[in-house]
Amino acid sequence: MLELLREVGVELPGGAGLLKFGMTPGEVLELLPPDRVTHHRQCMGLTLDQYAELRHAHDAWLGGLLFEPDWSFDAELGGVVLGFGGGGPGATDRLARVEIQARAQADGPESTPVAWDDIDLFGYPAAEIAAVLPGIPSPGGPPPAEMAVDELGLRLSRATPTAEHWERVTLVGPGSGGWGACCAGGLVCAEQGDGLVGIMY
């Protein structure tokens, strides 16, 4: 099980260790099995200085679209993929964002549970999870395809509002304060920014 710990990080399965906010890329890599790590080259992402507006860069950072050279790797553990991000302008060398994406494998083993307070965020229907998270008003229907829970530093998303389960969760740590020049809240820019600006036309 991957255990999400508010303002701390992510407890890896099988006693592999704790990914703590504030770690350097090298420290994160030391905890990950080398054969499960994939290093990436820049492709569909822009670097911070290529965004005309900081709010767009922040939104891209939240969505894992901003290219950060030190963090250009991910790791697949037990059917889920972990992505990593630094803390924004002036703090890119310290872990501040962990993104976990479910990888559907019809012929493979079930994904490792991703737990928040013992709630499997990928295992239960999205509507049931949304109903127990703090600060989320009851929508009177299925929850939207993307939802930010500022109080917990969580962002949940799935391909469409009709998909039964959440497919991606992003945990933002206290080290994301490097984005302070963009906006006061860690998840606010997602409501007004557009992380695809400059990437896709």
Q: What is the pLDDT of residues 167-198, one digit of tens each?
A: 999 999 988 888 888 887 778 787 778 888 88
- Residue 26 — pLDDT band, cuts 50, 70, 90? very high
Least confident residue range of 64-68, 74-78, 101-105: 101-105
Residues of the chain with pLDDT > 90, as a percent, come to: 53
Mean pLDDT computed over every residue of the chain: 88
Task: Report pLDDT for 134.
Answer: 84
Q: Which two tokens stand for residue 155?
A: 């962002």
Backbone angles phi, psi at 112, to 5 degrees: -60, 135
Backbone angles phi, psi at 155, to 5 degrees: -135, 120
> What is the Cα–Cα distance from 172 to 192, expressed in whole angstroms?
18
pTM for this prediction: 0.92
